[in-house]
Structure 1
């Protein structure tokens, strides 16, 4: 079975076992099941998995961000194309999470449950927005990493990446080492995610045993809201961006992007979809390769609209579930962090979940709440990856059109809408990251 099937199976079994324990009354306070099963075995396995996810946060953000910046190869390559791409990617991500929070708050998902974490937890007040902005720049980057202060780590990683580029060829060995470490972190993500089915079973079984069918109903609401906002972003927001900033026909775009979306949905990996996205935007949409070869891998690194939507909805859901009041400042902090964190979110299955723990920690939400989200994360992961790669293609078209690098005759050619007769054959492993894609350009520095 694939990992997705295993996780779904673990989720279903966890729900069934947890509800059975809840309905039968076996989880009564002080009972054998409560002591040694739900608060014992299930709690231990689930908590170990949560700790493993937290373990990856700092090195994953640090190495992937440095690689992304260094992979540009030469700061001059950024130019107009780099600036426009970055601006549009950040803008679409900000719109995505803002709409997610507004809709989730408006619908009130998770309200009235007042769940409590099994671990000791006291919600701290969200810091003032001015303090958040000031603390982005760390006085001690090593201490920031030790304390898990992610905004500071993101700032330091970007600045270090730019500095390594400015050093030139002498920094090549350091960059190569960081690329190897980044690759190792990706493998570590794969190893830990392989344990997800068992953790999902334990986390959901414990949650259902303690909270019952009411929680199950709330999880269904979470999936519907998160999925609905993603579809809204895909079919409305992105297409409005495409029409307004490029004047291209959105219907033609949706017809030609189907192959990319299907592949992204099936692999749950933006990186693995890079070859398909690149081929589609160049051969079927008419984007010049000089633009696409930059915007597509760059987007796979920093454009995480779907992930940002999940983070926004999940934050509102868990805050309401645990009775934590975030307020306007808290939600603005979540928007800012999600936009910045999208730069460091790896384009591999499950990495967005690691970023979610960072957002939770920053605004004072219990990390145990991730266990509830984890049960349905793999289902949403496929959809949000399709949203991510669609955003990559939209921004590629907008930038290419603005720079006169788009062949509109190719874009409007209806004969190029259909799939390849022979299909698309690509490596199912995560594609080369942005740093390797641009390594040739760097060597010429």
Structure 2
């Protein structure tokens, strides 16, 4: 019993720091903003480490693979899992919106968003997957370009053979060093997250009421239910009862970090650590999680469905019928998987909702505002969805007994 409690000690400390921070924010309101720099310090440390961490983890994982066939299997299984979980998340929120109708009876003044900068799809794709200068890879705004570069370096190292072995050892060593750096940063997490939540609640606490209260009242419980029920089911499918136990034992740290930072990228270092402790193999976790942080967003699928239902209610449109629902699920998948990896993808997803349903441009600020108020739990679902997806990919690749065959690092 003592050993079990020791394993949960750090997540409990994190949880307590978030609760204490939130209470401070509620009591002191905007005065709590004075400790925001303590939270910003933690966020900046995570952002600082994420670029080299992504490069070394992906490139070392791929360079160390026995064959490129293994990479193909991981990628194929990953895409399947991402699409299936995205559809499930969309349907989950669709049922909730049909029952609770979040936009009905809401009266929001319409504002014209003004001129919008247009970019062709081909230009957008080029800018998403490549950069014009090597130094631009070092910006987290170009994460997909960095991932493409990391994959290519890993493949090139792997096919170089004997001459590339020393470089493979360097990549693997660097990956371990940066993971250890993440461990050091996490010692500061209770202070950083506590301060961040205090300032967050102090600044935005009052904004979660009013016109968007109904959307918040629907989204927050639904996302928590999806997190609790959906992810428990996925963990069970991935590893049975042991899978559920290991998932819940290790998921609180990335969940708390993502809830506080509102960033899948900032949460990636902590998430990689959690997946390692769950027992997800190195090549799987170091391929699936960095890609998942940019192109897999179950929380975004949930929020896209809420945006559609909410704006239908605001404009007194009929949100019923199989065609309407299938189109909504398709938009959610595009928003949560395809668009999420593109810089400004959230905005493109919102534009797609307006265009496909023939809504006036005045609907854009309404949809964007929902994105802001539901962002914290959406990010939490995005991040933890990547963890459980890596477990499902491992189950597909290694068989049902994969958890019995891995040594797990102690928490």
Shorter chain as denominator, the TM-score bin is: 0.5 to 0.7
2:381 to 384, 387, 396: 387
Q: 1:442: which partner in 2?
A: none
Q: 2:291: which partner in 1?
A: 298
1:186 to 141, 144, 153: 141
Q: 1:262: which partner in 2?
A: 256
Q: 1:275: which partner in 2?
A: 269
In 2, the alpha carbon distance for the partners of 1:389 and 1:302 equals: 11
Task: List gaps (5 residues or longer) in structure 2.
Answer: 1-21, 31-57, 143-207
1:315 to 308, 312, 320: 308
1:280-330 Cα shifts (integer Å, max 9, x gaps):
211x11111111111111211211110111110111011111112354323
**Is it true that 1:400 corresponds to 2:394 in the alignment?**
yes
In 1, the alpha carbon distance for the partners of 2:294 and 2:118 equals: 25
Number of residue equivalences: 284
Shift of 1:233: 1.2
1:185-225 Cα shifts (integer Å, max 9, x gaps):
939xxxxxxxxxxxxxxxxxxxxxxxxxxx96551111010
Residues 272, 118 of structure 1: alpha-carbon distance in 2 compared, 3 angstrom cutoff:
closer
In 2, the alpha carbon distance for the partners of 1:245 and 1:79 equals: 20
Shift of 1:359: 2.1
1:241-287 Cα shifts (integer Å, max 9, x gaps):
221243244243122111111111121111122221112211x1111
Q: 2:237: which partner in 1?
A: 244
Q: 2:76: which partner in 1?
A: 83
**Is it true that 1:355 corresponds to 2:349 in the alignment?**
yes
Contact preservation (8 Å) 1:260, 1:280: yes
In 2, the alpha carbon distance for the partners of 1:358 and 1:179 equals: 32
Contact preservation (8 Å) 1:109, 1:218: no
How does 1:23-62 map onto structure 2 within 5 Å?
none
**Is it true that 1:104 corresponds to 2:97 in the alignment?**
yes
In 2, the alpha carbon distance for the partners of 1:146 and 1:279 equals: 40
Contact preservation (8 Å) 2:239, 2:403: no
Shift of 1:392: 0.6
1:177 to 106, 114, 132: 132
In 2, the alpha carbon distance for the partners of 1:412 and 1:258 equals: 17
Q: 1:230: which partner in 2?
A: 223
1:338 to 332, 343, 347: 332
Q: 1:441: which partner in 2?
A: none
1:370-413 Cα shifts (integer Å, max 9, x gaps):
43354454342121111111111101112123322845476878
In 2, the alpha carbon distance for the partners of 1:273 and 1:302 equals: 14
Residues 185, 338 of structure 1: alpha-carbon distance in 2 compared, 3 angstrom cutoff:
farther
Residues 403, 116 of structure 1: alpha-carbon distance in 2 compared, 3 angstrom cutoff:
same
More helix by share: 2
Contact preservation (8 Å) 1:113, 1:320: yes
In 2, the alpha carbon distance for the partners of 1:183 and 1:361 equals: 34
Shift of 1:335: 1.2
Contact preservation (8 Å) 2:112, 2:361: no
Residues 343, 217 of structure 1: alpha-carbon distance in 2 compared, 3 angstrom cutoff:
same
Contact preservation (8 Å) 1:349, 1:381: no
